[in-house]
Amino acid sequence: MEDQKQLDAFEAKIASGVKIEPKDWMPEAYRKQLVRMMSQHAHSEIVGMLPEGNWITRAPNLRRKAILLAKVQDEAGHGLYLYSATETLGVDRTELLEQLHSGKAKYSSIFNYPTLTWADIGAIGWLVDGAAIMNQTALARGSYGPYSRAMVRICKEESFHNRQGYEIMMHLTQGTEEQKAMAQDALNRWWWPSIMMLGPSDDQSPNSDQLMRWKVKMESNDAIRQRFIDRTVPQAEFIGLKVPDSQMKMNETTGHYEHGPINWDEFFDVIKGNGPCNAKRLKDRKEADINGRWVREAAMAFAAKRVKEKEVA
Ligand code: FAQ
């Protein structure tokens, strides 16, 4: 009986737009859903550093290199906020990282595709950050305080990422025929995975109902996907590129684009671990964890030394 009362009060709070904070009562299912979604998001940020990190040494000039370095560093920062926000739910990040490294935890499907040319870096900023922002501006209005607040800052940084990606693509499409072809090829390879990264269609999305009822997710996967398509197709046309979907057309009555069928078999295969780069991403992530251990240990030793010094003073 007490639980029902607590649940009603919790749901009334959400309905009136008051944020849920870490020490507030929450149903176990709400906590579990948040840990699942926020940790998958945190993992996506740090695995997402890998395909772009691959191009830092090969960026075409110093300006591009500095921008890409800053972007990849931002993704590490996003991971940090998100692991910290997840820890407010009583879970330890070491445990979450173990789940990632053992292959138990999911991270975004999109990062299991290779970055073959410099144009892929443009396509990631334009399409992947573009899709992520479309999703995350909605999540910034969500019910769990620490997650929604993390989204505000992350979205601001990702808006910059998105523009730098589009600017790379624009620059390439104004270049030689080869550069234009490189930009189109990147769009061809990244378009469908970017559409898919927004999650399975609503009829195959088991978590959406509960998450939307508790305002963790504010909109369905398909609704966000439609908005992303409506915004991105004209951007492609503006720089002389074409999305690789022969059925894409504007429906003048609804004012929305209609797209061809999405290959959901490919999506489910990638999230099961069978995408082109799943094994490499996991291997590189585990190596980064091992190689970074001494830095974490040194930082902890330094922090302990500072505490001791303060105690003496
Ligand atoms: N990849 O019931 P739903 C970024 C799983 S950040 C892998 O619809 P939900 C920044 C899902 O977990 C990108 N798995 O799930 C950046 C579930 O499995 P489970 C990440 C996926 O949670 C840019 C099952 O399918 N963003 O890109 C994916 O209601 C550039 C059924 O699905 C976030 O994580 C997928 N794409 O909706 C970094 C945002 N989609 O756990 C570097 C937060 C679904 O039951 C460079 N997350 N699954 O075993 C969300 O908004 C949601 O979790 C969705 C999925 C929309 C991703």
Average pLDDT of the chain, as a whole number:
97
State in Å: Cα 149 to ligand 1 middle: 19
CB 277 within 8 A of CB 113: yes
- Strand, helix or coil at 144? strand
Non-local CB neighbours of 158 within 8 Å, separated by 6+ positions: 129, 132, 133, 136
Amino acid in position 274 = N
State in Å: Cα 10 to ligand 1 middle: 25
How far is the C-alpha of 91 from the C-alpha of 31, rounded, in Å?
Answer: 10
Q: Quick one: which atom of ligand 1 is closest to the CA of 38?
A: 43
**DSSP state string for 236-277:** HHHTT---S-TT-EEETTTTEEE-----HHHHHHIIIIISTT
Residue closest to 20 by CA, chosen among 30, 5, 29:
30
Q: Quick one: which atom of ligand 1 is closest to the CA of 200?
A: 8
Exposure letters 27-47 (e unless 16+ CB within 10 A, then b): eeebbebbbebbbbbbbbbbb
Q: Give the number of other CB atoms < 10 A from CB of residue 273.
A: 12
Question: Does the pLDDT value for residue 1 go beyond 70?
Answer: no
Residue closest to 158 by CA, chosen among 230, 77, 63:
77
pLDDT digits (tens, 9 = 90+) for 231-286: 999 999 999 999 999 999 999 999 999 999 999 999 999 999 999 999 999 999 99
- Strand, helix or coil at 67? helix
Q: Quick one: which atom of ligand 1 is closest to the CA of 135?
A: 51
CA trace torsion 100, 104, 106, 109 (10° rounding)? 100
313: confidence class by pLDDT, cuts 50, 70, 90: confident
Q: Quick one: which atom of ligand 1 is closest to the CA of 45?
A: 38
- Bridge partners (DSSP) listed for residue 144: 20
Segment 288-304 shows an average pLDDT of 96
State in Å: Cα 197 to ligand 1 middle: 7
- Strand, helix or coil at 42? helix
pLDDT digits (tens, 9 = 90+) for 199-228: 999 999 999 999 999 999 999 999 999 999
CB 141 within 8 A of CB 218: yes
- Strand, helix or coil at 20? strand
pLDDT digits (tens, 9 = 90+) for 7-42: 999 999 999 999 999 999 999 999 999 999 999 999
Token digits for 294? 């001494």
Non-local CB neighbours of 67 within 8 Å, separated by 6+ positions: 164
- Strand, helix or coil at 257? strand
Residue closest to 130 by CA, chosen among 168, 174, 160:
160
CB 191 within 8 A of CB 247: no
Residue closest to 133 by CA, chosen among 110, 148, 154:
154
- Residues touching ligand 1 (Cβ under 6 Å) are 36-37, 40-41, 44-45, 48, 75, 106, 108-109, 124, 128-129, 132, 135, 197-200, 205-208, 211, 217, 221, 271
Token digits for 4? 């029902």
Ligand 1: residue of 38, 68, 69, 108 to mutate (most ligand atoms within 8 A of CB) is 108
Residue closest to 82 by CA, chosen among 72, 69, 97, 65:
97
Q: What is the DSSP letter of 19?
A: P
pLDDT digits (tens, 9 = 90+) for 66-117: 999 999 999 999 999 999 999 999 999 999 999 999 999 999 999 999 999 9
- Residue owning the nearest CA to atom 33 of ligand 1: 41
How far is the C-alpha of 20 from the C-alpha of 86, rounded, in Å?
Answer: 14
Question: Does the pLDDT value for residue 3 go beyond 60?
Answer: yes
How far is the C-alpha of 249 from the C-alpha of 245, rounded, in Å?
Answer: 9
For the chain, give the number of residues. Answer: 313
End-to-end CA distance of the chain: 54
Q: Quick one: which atom of ligand 1 is closest to the CA of 206?
A: 2
- Residue owning the nearest CA to atom 49 of ligand 1: 106
CB 222 within 8 A of CB 204: no
- Residue owning the nearest CA to atom 44 of ligand 1: 199
State in Å: Cα 199 to ligand 1 middle: 6
pLDDT of the residue at 236: 98
pLDDT digits (tens, 9 = 90+) for 124-154: 999 999 999 999 999 999 999 999 999 999 9
State in Å: Cα 301 to ligand 1 middle: 36
